[in-house]
Structure 1
Amino acid sequence: MVNRSGHGHKIILHGLVLLAVVGGISYAAEHFGEGHLSAITAWIEKSGNFAPLVFMLINVVCMTLGLPQTIFTVVAGVLFGALKGTAMCLISMAGGASVSFVLGRYIFRGLILRKFGSDPNFRRIEMLSHHHPVKVLALSRLVPVVPYSIANYLLSVTRIRYIPYIIMSVVCLIPETVFLTAGGHILSAGVLKGSFNWKLLAALLVAGGMIVLLVRATRRSIEKD
């Protein structure tokens, strides 16, 4: 039922590639672009709550439109730091997931079923949602068979209820969010200050280990059932 390949390791590899890309862009913007990254971070520090609110709103809108959210998670770590970036991303995920759930369940249900009703991944999700709703929620969040933003719409037309949906949508993404924001903050500190935060590296490694363990545990539980 579930691919036995190392999904957790794929998530880590995807995150590292994304961090490398964002790191390269950040370095180029700072050292070849007349200090653009420093200018952005200075503006954010002066803007108070305005910049975080704008960032979260953009994240929610893009998530609702079905765009990938992982890039926003790394950028949040670069611009706002690991702790604040993690909180902002989790709030954005809750907001985007809620909007998508409402739109999918009450407005776009027919369109979603016509487009994805015969898709094997959707049929597995639908089947499992009848008997193991919490497990299928964990699986859909931890094992990226489809992107998070697309999964929101697919889950909205199943029998899954909103409360467990939104709780699992946030909780299951905490390790990955910490991994990406901590990595983004490490990159930002290296580019702007030439420093390295060992505590954040430890948090990144712990989060990476948790991702692998949670993916394996969820996959085995689903396979057993």
Structure 2
Amino acid sequence: MSSEKSHSKKIILHGAVIMAVVGILSFAVEHYGEGHLSAITAWIEARGNYAPLLFMVINVVGMVLVIPQTLFTVVAGVLFGAVKGTAMCLASMAVGSSISFFLGRFVLRGRVFKKFRHDPNFMKMEMLSRKHPIKVLALSRIVPVVPYSVANYLWAATGVRFLPFLIMSVVCLIPETVFLTAGGHLLSSGVRMGTVDWEMLAVLAVAAALIYLLVRAVQRSLEQDSNEIK
């Protein structure tokens, strides 16, 4: 039970720290930069679909280059709102994960094996994926042992098929993505307008609770699979 709590707390705490950093920067840009945050969001709204597309391209490139995605997700909530930000981030994850997977399988597989073949996390991932590929894919996304962007390349080096990889890589990140974009939206409304979006605060709380419940469930499932192998 303590392990389950530590994993869920780690995920939520990591997101909260990123939100705090983004919040401080947003406050500084808005209040000490003569309303620059409001100017940026107004510019984005005036650009129509161009700005979201540009942001998604940058996000995809960052994922392929193994740059942590948490910051991108919170910023998406700040600049585009929770609903649009979530959709943009999930779409970016689908594209970025696909590119990383194909690079890892057909271009960089030898390098990945050379670097990680003795890594205990990779060895366990490869072993479990032979028996329970869908379940282990879900486990690795909900309870990340290694960063999301790195895991894309590790999964490519295993025998898992592309379609299950893609589906689990996107679906299992929905609660965390909603949590981070909702937090970004709350920061934006609080910094720019000095108000609290209570509906979005409720969404944030529900997403955090869902993360906790999912982590608890997958941790128990992972323990059962480990016991089967032993």
* TM-score relative to the length of structure 1: 0.97
Return structure 1 stretches of 4+ with deviation > 4 angstroms. Answer: none
Q: Equivalents in 2 of 1:208, 1:160: separation in Å?
A: 29
Q: Equivalents in 1 of 2:174, 2:115: separation in Å?
A: 30
- 5 Å-filtered alignment, 1:68-147, equals 68-147=68-147
Per-residue deviation at 1:224?
0.9
Per-residue deviation at 1:217?
0.5
SS of the residue aligned with 1:96? Answer: helix
SS of the residue aligned with 2:118? Answer: coil
- Count the aligned residue pairs: 223
Q: Equivalents in 1 of 2:5, 2:153: separation in Å?
A: 25
Change (3 A) 1:78 1:197: same
Q: Equivalents in 2 of 1:133, 1:181: separation in Å?
A: 29
**Match of residue 202 from structure 1:** 202
What amino acid maps onto 2:218 in structure 1? Answer: T
SS of the residue aligned with 2:144? Answer: coil
What amino acid maps onto 2:146 in structure 1? Answer: V
Q: Equivalents in 2 of 1:6, 1:161: separation in Å?
A: 31
Q: Given that residues 74 and 184 in structure 2 are in contact (C-alpha distance below 8 angstroms), is that contact kept between their aligned partners in structure 1?
A: yes
TM-align CA RMSD? 0.9
What amino acid maps onto 1:61 in structure 2? Answer: V
Per-residue deviation at 1:4?
5.5
SS of the residue aligned with 1:190? Answer: helix
Percent identical pairs in the alignment equals: 66
Per-residue deviation at 1:83?
0.2
**Match of residue 20 from structure 2:** 20
Per-residue Cα deviation, 1:26-53 (whole angstroms, up to 9, x for no partner): 0000001121111110110100000000
Q: Given that residues 75 and 181 in structure 2 are in contact (C-alpha distance below 8 angstroms), is that contact kept between their aligned partners in structure 1?
A: yes
- 5 Å-filtered alignment, 1:207-222, equals 207-222=207-222
**Match of residue 152 from structure 2:** 152
Q: Unpaired runs of 5+ in structure 1?
A: none
Q: Equivalents in 1 of 2:97, 2:212: separation in Å?
A: 23
Q: Unpaired runs of 5+ in structure 2?
A: 226-230
What amino acid maps onto 2:89 in structure 1? Answer: C
* TM-score relative to the length of structure 2: 0.95
SS of the residue aligned with 1:99? Answer: helix
SS of the residue aligned with 1:6? Answer: helix
Q: Given that residues 5 and 216 in structure 2 are in contact (C-alpha distance below 8 angstroms), is that contact kept between their aligned partners in structure 1?
A: no
**Match of residue 168 from structure 2:** 168
Per-residue deviation at 1:144?
1.9
Per-residue deviation at 1:5?
5.8
